[in-house]
Structure 1
Amino acid sequence: MKISRLLIFSFLFVSCFLSAQTKEVLFTIDNHPYYNDEFVRVYNKNLDLVKDDSQKDLDKYLDLFLGYKLKVEKANKIGLQNGLNYQNELKSYRNQLSKNYVNDSKVTNELVKEAYDRMQQEVRASHILVLVDEGALPQDTLKAYNKVIEIKRRLDAGEDFITVAQQTSEDPSVKENNGDLGYFSAFRMVYPFENAAYNTKVGQVSKPFRTRFGYHIVKVVDKRVNRGEVTVAHIMIVKQNDTVQNEKAKTTIDDIYKKIQQGEAFESLAQQFSEDKSSAPKGGVLQRFGSGQLSSEEFENVAFELKEKDQISVPFQSQFGWHIVKLIEKHPVRSFDEMKFELEEKIRKDERSLLITNSLAKKLRDKYTIIKDAKIIAKIKAAVNDDFYSQTWVVPEKSKELNGDVLVINKDKKINAKLFLDFIAAKQKSNIKTKPIVRLVDELFEKFTEEQLIAYYNENLENEFPEFKNVMDEYRDGLLLFDLMEKEIWNRAKNDTIGLHNYFANNIKNYQWKKRYSADILSSTDKKIVEKAQKFLKKGKSLEYIREQLNKDGKVNIMSKSGMYEEDYDVLSQFENLSKGVTSIVSKDQYFFVVNITDEKPAGAKELSECKGKAISDYQQYLENNWVDELKSEFNIQVNQDVFAKVKSQLKN
């Protein structure tokens, strides 16, 4: 579902620069106007995505854009915009997007510099955790705090950290790792935890500190120069639960290693034998990674211990299976200038962005006019009493004296006193101890004002930043379209079994097996070895017998795989007139092959169960193509050809 959504939104989101233009109505759908500036903007965005010049044809693109807007009109017509999930997701996206605009450059630059400096090191730390929710009651928070203070007292008295961690830590993983978190660098832990780890010296224990998970104590075990990142390729044979099968897996990885030592290509062996299906087709190459980014510390350590390009490890075991690793490239930590933009993006997504938000609030006080009603604030101070400290204070009901606008921002945002009273009531859970009450109310009013300033700023982002408005409008349409497509097309294609069977039957020519062979495929870099294997096959010897005879003295000379393959599969396409029995010998990519065909199946139609995924996808496309024609009949469409002619002229120039 997420992939489908991304495909829809790829129609929308690519940045571009547009020349100024007069805004005119390009077309209407049931009298709803759509303008030329939006069409030009979206067209320019997608220029880099199209694959040939025919897709740049403006008449065809107008039809595509019109079809897109027809679907959005249909979604609104049937009320999808009123759906709770839709509204929540749109709100969530806006909150995320707005974070990119809530920024203070000075604070951001300081955080970027701090993060880059920390990335020069990796810290190994252990921790003890006492769980307590962010919104926990004061008594629960106090209980957790007292517990962590007692733990710190024991550590200060000289007790062993691991022993204390095993006895007291509420981190579920402590039973397996004794609190050891391994090596990490900036952004790998929540920000307060990162601060404690980097600000504590090796061998020392931090003071207790709090994160959103609870109270922590950190012991820094080691600090080392950041190893950077590494790109490796690997061959993996998956670990088996059965002892006999696991021994077989160990034998297989050892045989592959011997073939590497004999000079055979790592990439070819990975493609043939690695059981990591995602990396095998790429010669075993994995995405680059740094310390703490994989779930296997054993794998990481072996990868980073390789020094020279193309160096290959001996076989080793992780919790996932047996591996052989080849070093492709080492990536040291990049320069500050190279990483600056990437770090800014990470900071916006990290909780340290709160520091930027707080700084913004101070600037907004200068940007906007703020009028507060001192009389109402004085009445509120009189209404709040010491019950606040015991969390028993309640907002007075229906008090006319407390009614009115306590705050006005920029002369157009009026904030009723009731909101501030509710804010005060909610803050009781924060266990604020400021006294006397009048001072506490003043303190809370400042926090309330900052929240309202940022809220006002957020509410007006569309007015302040045109690009923000464009992205939100487009996301809104895209989200509606996704929900509509799911309702009208995707779910229908999955659930309409009769329609799917009829479509499949009417298009059976598109779902055909080529001729298939049940085959044993044997390969070696030595032609003489393959010739011997060919003779054994002709005598009816088993694959196990052939391997025993030809793989001797610690050398793996022959490898095999078996299965049902179509006639153009890999090396099978090299043979002419395949039939039952043993083939001749062919060569491909420095390997020699011989094949034993044990059975063959003629070309013919597939069963629906054999290609259901593709059939559903094709049926969805069929439904969508016909659906657009239906929408054109359902809605009244008027295209302003004069405006479209101007658009053509503008884009050609």
Structure 2
Amino acid sequence: MNIKQFFLGLFFLLSFAGNAQNNTKEVLFTIDDKPYYTDEFSRIYKKNLDLVKDDSQKDLNQYLELFIGYKLKVNKAYKLNLQDGAQYKNELKSYRAQLAKNYFNDTKITQELVEEGYNRLQKEIRASHILILVDENASPEDTLKAYKKIEDISKKAMAGEDFGNLAVQYSEDPSAKENKGDLGYFSAFRMVYPFENAAYKTQKGKVSKIVRTRFGYHILKINDIRANRGEITVAHIMILKPKPEETEKDAEKTINEIYQKIQQGEKFEDLAEQFSEDKSSASKGGVLNKFSSGQLSSEEFENVAFSLANPKDISKPFSSAFGWHIVKLIEKHPVKSLDEMKNELEAKIGRDDRSKKITASLNEKLRKKYTYKKDAKQFGLISKLVTNDFYEAKWALPANANDYTAALLTINDKKIDGKAFLDFIDKQQKAGIKVKPLSKLADTLFDKFLDEQLTAYYDENLETEFPDFANVMEEYRDGLLLFDLMEKEIWDRAKTDTIGLQKFYDEHKMEHMWKKRVEVTIASSTKQDMIKKAQAFLKKNEKPQDIKDKLNVNNVINVMTNSGTFEEGSDGLPKTMKYNIGVSDVFKEGEYYFVTKVDKVIPAGVKTLEESKGKLINEYQQYLEQSWVSDLKKEFTITVNQAAFDRIKKQLNQ
């Protein structure tokens, strides 16, 4: 995360920290006659009260100074026209669009969909299906033809004919010839929503009603229903299916030899790295990304993985369509609670067909919320311009499209002209709408246009309708400007002003001190005999890497070393080590044995500018900012309404 993301992320958190409003609104102070009010001061103070650690910032007199300083910087940003920058405008637009999403959600319907999805996630369904393809925007004739096909197949299935054989014979899903329509196990959010609905609403052993999805018409047979096994993390060692010149026996022999090594106590991870032919996981000790039922292409693999009971359990060798495997259980992840999954489920709902319910609800709400009127005469003129070319995506805007400036649609006091509708029609050709006749097509397009315009009107007026939204946007707008200003006036200067930084260092260098330091090599091991050998090598001035090469053999790490210059109290140093030149005695802390070789002890002293640069630049930035705010107070005229401040102080202290 870069500093800008952190800075603006902090504004985002503060903006939602609370929504307390104060009905009292007086001018608290002015900057060059621009007023700032007590209600904003009160609201922001209350929101940030529990977040600030410095007690001086909780003092209202001090907080007023900080607040005035903040508004001075914002005024300076506007004076420098930073608000006109293209990057600023784009970032503000992007943030507003993200924030506005919260106001386009139907909480009630979203909650219902979350609960429905969560309840379905408790079960896994194994289903077979038969598909008859038909485009969702197909003509009525093609749609009816496809429906009759699936209807005939459905009657056969309902009459008891073998579903798998029907899938092989009739299904237009290419995989049906191989799997007889069997989709394996799946849970909620794995299939398109209408298909999922049919699966969860059909009893085990039964055939579903005909269901339409964007792929076509389906019927399903529910083969099994079981409790959701959750997700699982495993590692595996894989030997691929043999090449033509090899035999199955060779692969089986190899996997059995690896299994024997595991039985003899060799580490699974080392063997996976050395022998596994799944190159994507071998370097990670064979560890795979966690998965749930139906996510892998091998049901055999999933079943063996889920059959392991306890972490570190290891399966016997087994084969799948892809090769031979040995699986080690790392962790099982049961289905989380509803509270834990709420955000995840809401995100999934926003990405699939369920979101259409939320959109439909918003459209209905906005049609009731706003007054709108269609100009019948203008609509009639435009409707006549739409031809059959629309169905072939060949329709073109009329040459005189710009002449349609009369209002076609009025929403409250906003007028939308006919040209906007013509542009909308042009773009909709790519949607593949096949509604006929043309008069009905025009009505369908206008309904979509109306919903789009109502949504746009709602979006444009969020600041007017929702004070909380307006407050957050104002704070973010100021914060974004402030970041750009601080970067320009303070942060970049602190990094590049070498003369000023040197002067600041000279004045404050006694505040930047080293504790006692030590140049040392540290060797550690859980085995006392190994650490004694390391001690002997250190006494012979052997290099740390040479010591490890001699003691860490046969893929066993017996000794670790760490060399460098460490400050007294550093986490990298054993707590009980002695700061004496030379090789120490062996000593133990916890489960580890240590030996150290101290080459040099450096007494406490002043850090150089380069050594203290990171912290020093930060302090220099704070110094520059304080001086800069003092200059801003001279540049702008500030007038505080002391009586109003006294009244707001009294209210906030109650």
The TM-score bracket by the shorter chain reads 0.5 to 0.7
Query: Alpha-carbon deviation of 1:598?
Result: 3.9
Pair 1:589-2:586 in alignment: no
Compared CA separation, residues 485 and 450, structure 1 to 2 (3 A):
same
Query: Alpha-carbon deviation of 1:3?
Result: 4.2
1:87 paired residue number? 89
Query: Alpha-carbon deviation of 1:124?
Result: 11
CA distance in 2: counterparts of 1:515 and 1:545, whole angstroms: 25
5+ residue gaps, structure 2, are: 128-166, 216-221, 236-260, 270-282, 316-326
Query: Alpha-carbon deviation of 1:376?
Result: 1.1
Identity of aligned residues (%): 50
Which residue, 332, 336, 347 being the options, matches 1:333? Answer: 336
Amino acid at match of 1:458: D
Amino acid at match of 1:59: N
CA distance in 2: counterparts of 1:511 and 1:324, whole angstroms: 51
1:564 paired residue number? 564
Residues 401 and 422 in structure 2, CA contact (< 8 A), matched pair in contact too: no
Which residue, 378, 381, 386 being the options, matches 1:384? Answer: 386
CA distance in 1: counterparts of 2:34 and 2:467, whole angstroms: 21
Which residue, 3, 9, 18 being the options, matches 2:20? Answer: 18
2:102 paired residue number? 100
Compared CA separation, residues 71 and 307, structure 1 to 2 (3 A):
farther
CA distance in 2: counterparts of 1:456 and 1:385, whole angstroms: 29
Query: Alpha-carbon deviation of 1:377?
Result: 1.0
Pair 1:41-2:43 in alignment: yes
Compared CA separation, residues 121 and 422, structure 1 to 2 (3 A):
same
Deviates more, 1:617-626 or 1:629-638: 617-626
The structure whose Rg is larger is 2
Q: Following superposition of structure 1 onto structure 2, how do residues 61-80 of structure 1 map, counting pairs within 5 Å? A: 61-80=63-82
CA distance in 1: counterparts of 2:550 and 2:64, whole angstroms: 69
Q: 2:384 aligns to what SS in structure 1?
A: helix
Q: 1:18 aligns to what SS in structure 2?
A: coil
CA distance in 2: counterparts of 1:124 and 1:226, whole angstroms: 11
Compared CA separation, residues 91 and 370, structure 1 to 2 (3 A):
same
TM-score, structure 1 normalization: 0.68
Query: Alpha-carbon deviation of 1:545?
Result: 8.6
Compared CA separation, residues 325 and 545, structure 1 to 2 (3 A):
farther
Compared CA separation, residues 162 and 487, structure 1 to 2 (3 A):
farther
Residues 529 and 557 in structure 1, CA contact (< 8 A), matched pair in contact too: no
Amino acid at match of 1:635: F
Q: 2:15 aligns to what SS in structure 1?
A: coil
Amino acid at match of 1:37: D
Residues 232 and 292 in structure 2, CA contact (< 8 A), matched pair in contact too: no
Amino acid at match of 1:73: N
Query: Alpha-carbon deviation of 1:645?
Result: 1.2
Q: 2:519 aligns to what SS in structure 1?
A: strand
Compared CA separation, residues 184 and 629, structure 1 to 2 (3 A):
farther
CA distance in 1: counterparts of 2:565 and 2:223, whole angstroms: 54
* 1:59-80 Cα distance to aligned partner (Å, 9 max, x none): 2222222222222111111112
Q: 1:471 aligns to what SS in structure 2?
A: helix
Query: Alpha-carbon deviation of 1:33?
Result: 1.0
CA distance in 2: counterparts of 1:313 and 1:650, whole angstroms: 64
Query: Alpha-carbon deviation of 1:420?
Result: 1.2
Compared CA separation, residues 341 and 160, structure 1 to 2 (3 A):
closer
Which residue, 520, 523, 534 being the options, matches 2:522? Answer: 520
Query: Alpha-carbon deviation of 1:622?
Result: 3.6
Residues 378 and 408 in structure 2, CA contact (< 8 A), matched pair in contact too: yes
TM-score, structure 2 normalization: 0.68
Deviates more, 1:44-53 or 1:6-15: 6-15
Number of equivalences: 560
Compared CA separation, residues 528 and 430, structure 1 to 2 (3 A):
closer
Compared CA separation, residues 454 and 551, structure 1 to 2 (3 A):
closer
Q: Following superposition of structure 1 onto structure 2, how do residues 167-566 of structure 1 map, counting pairs within 5 Å? A: 225-228=227-230, 307=309, 331-334=334-337, 336=338, 339-340=341-342, 343-344=345-346, 347-348=349-350, 352-398=354-400, 402-410=404-412, 412-496=413-497, 499-500=500-501, 503=504, 507-509=508-510, 510=512, 512=514, 514-524=516-526, 530=531, 534=535, 537-538=538-539, 559-566=559-566
Query: Alpha-carbon deviation of 1:429?
Result: 2.8
Amino acid at match of 1:485: M
CA distance in 2: counterparts of 1:605 and 1:163, whole angstroms: 77
Deviates more, 1:69-78 or 1:385-394: 385-394
Residues 523 and 534 in structure 2, CA contact (< 8 A), matched pair in contact too: no
Q: 1:27 aligns to what SS in structure 2?
A: strand
CA distance in 2: counterparts of 1:437 and 1:123, whole angstroms: 44
CA distance in 2: counterparts of 1:164 and 1:606, whole angstroms: 75
Residues 123 and 184 in structure 1, CA contact (< 8 A), matched pair in contact too: yes
CA distance in 1: counterparts of 2:629 and 2:185, whole angstroms: 55
* 1:134-153 Cα distance to aligned partner (Å, 9 max, x none): xxxxxxxxxxxxxxxxxxxx
CA distance in 2: counterparts of 1:183 and 1:633, whole angstroms: 72
Query: Alpha-carbon deviation of 1:491?
Result: 3.3
Query: Alpha-carbon deviation of 1:23?
Result: 0.5
Query: Alpha-carbon deviation of 1:448?
Result: 0.7
Q: 1:356 aligns to what SS in structure 2?
A: helix
1:177 paired residue number? none
Deviates more, 1:116-125 or 1:635-644: 116-125
* 1:118-170 Cα distance to aligned partner (Å, 9 max, x none): 43357999xxxxxxxxxxxxxxxxxxxxxxxxxxxx997899979999xxxxx
Deviates more, 1:567-576 or 1:87-96: 567-576
Amino acid at match of 1:71: K
Compared CA separation, residues 346 and 498, structure 1 to 2 (3 A):
farther
Compared CA separation, residues 160 and 603, structure 1 to 2 (3 A):
farther
Q: 1:28 aligns to what SS in structure 2?
A: strand
Q: Following superposition of structure 1 onto structure 2, how do residues 110-125 of structure 1 map, counting pairs within 5 Å? A: 110-120=112-122
Query: Alpha-carbon deviation of 1:564?
Result: 0.3
1:59 paired residue number? 61
Say what the alpha-carbon RMSD is for the aligned residues: 5.7
CA distance in 2: counterparts of 1:356 and 1:80, whole angstroms: 38
CA distance in 2: counterparts of 1:53 and 1:304, whole angstroms: 54
* 1:466-510 Cα distance to aligned partner (Å, 9 max, x none): 212211221211222222223333333444455555555655442
Query: Alpha-carbon deviation of 1:255?
Result: 9.8
Pair 1:575-2:577 in alignment: yes
Residues 9 and 475 in structure 1, CA contact (< 8 A), matched pair in contact too: no
Q: 1:43 aligns to what SS in structure 2?
A: helix
Amino acid at match of 2:336: V
Compared CA separation, residues 124 and 626, structure 1 to 2 (3 A):
farther
1:6 paired residue number? 6
Amino acid at match of 1:442: D
Query: Alpha-carbon deviation of 1:291?
Result: 5.0
